[in-house]
Amino acid sequence: MRQFGIKAVISSKIGRPKMVKKKKETSKKKTEQQLIERQQKQIRHLEQELSYTKIENVYLKKLDAVIRNKKQH
């Protein structure tokens, strides 16, 4: 012990080594999954809006035809 001094006593590592934390890959997958879900939700919303607009367009065309037909008679 005298050969190495106090460092020999203090620096000796006893016990189990520390666990090294691994980077979480799931967080990256979660953000990608959340992005995909948001995009799918936005697509559904836009499809619904498009459907509504098409229906509205057909309705307005028929309404215009009815009004023109009444003006002619």
The 10s digit of each residue's pLDDT in 3-61 is 666 666 665 667 777 788 876 666 778 889 999 999 999 999 999 999 999 999 999 99
Closest CA to 9 of 19, 21, 1: 1
Supply the pLDDT for residue 56.
Answer: 98
Supply the pLDDT for residue 28.
Answer: 76
Rounded to an integer, what distance in angstroms lies between the CA atom of residue 57 and that of residue 52? Answer: 9
Supply the pLDDT for residue 5.
Answer: 64
Supply the pLDDT for residue 16.
Answer: 78
Is residue 35 within 8 Å of residue 27, measured between CB atoms? no
Is residue 40 within 8 Å of residue 33, measured between CB atoms? no
Supply the pLDDT for residue 39.
Answer: 97
Supply the pLDDT for residue 25.
Answer: 67
Structure tokens that stand for 34 in this block: 């959340």
